[in-house]
Amino acid sequence: MAPGARPRAAAGGTIEGQGRARHVTALEGVSFTLEAGDRLGLVGGNGAGKTTLLKTLYGIYEPTTGSIAIEGRVDALFNIYLGFRREATGRRNIVLRGLINGWSQDEIDHRMEEIVAFSELAEFVDLPFKCYSQGMAARLAFSIATSFQPEILLMDEWIGAGDPSFQEKAKRRMDELSAKAGIIVLASHNASLIRRTCKRVLELENGRVKRLVPADEYGTGP
């Protein structure tokens, strides 16, 4: 063990250093290659490194060792409320989220009415976001986040939103996104979802690869 390093906990990576100079190595020795049409499931217990890996693939975190090579546009569905302002109207929040996503104003204008229609908010879209119920907020956030055409799609759990009827509509939208995406990386604790959606499964344990297997083998073996 390296000087200053502590044993790996049941969840999480390695804590290294002393006093206030400590840091966590959340991922170590993780390596894989994906090609068009691949569907990779990320599994493992809480703290295994699934979300950290997704955020690294999305560019939120930079690897301290090794490298990542990505070709194609990467979109993520693991923080659908990113960039929302409570005082702004729903319509204004569509613009703000679109800008964060890197859309041009023309792209935002082109998608605006489709997003509003899918959310089913009607005239409420022009009221401040702080007036929305939790379900209304989820409808708007989901409608914006799933309005793109992804090449590489990163997901942390399978997103549902709103009441039962809207959840069914959301499920169909997610199925459509999955079908159109060139590559999908999905982190989930739902084994049946992983087997149904993915082709391969990367199992993480304490930030390291435990195994990489075909999806139909996930849930079997050691």
Q: Which two tokens stand for residue 30?
A: 């993780």
Helix (H, G, I), strand (E, B) or coil at 121: coil
Question: H-helix or E-strand containing 202?
Answer: strand 200-205
The pLDDT assigned to 68 comes to 92
Q: What average pLDDT values come out for the chain (222 residues) when binned by 10 residues?
A: 49 60 76 93 92 91 90 83 92 93 90 96 96 92 86 84 84 85 92 89 94 86 50
In terms of Cα–Cα distance, which of 6, 1, 27, 7 is closest to 204?
27
The pLDDT assigned to 1 comes to 45
Question: In one letter, which amino acid is 220?
Answer: T
Query: What secondary structure does DSSP assign to 5-67, as a single string?
Result: -----SSS-EEESSGGG-EEE---S------TT-EEEEE-STTSSHHHHHHHHHTSS--SSS-
The pLDDT assigned to 130 comes to 95
Rounded to two decimals, what is the model's pTM? 0.77
In terms of Cα–Cα distance, which of 183, 154, 167, 184 is closest to 55?
154
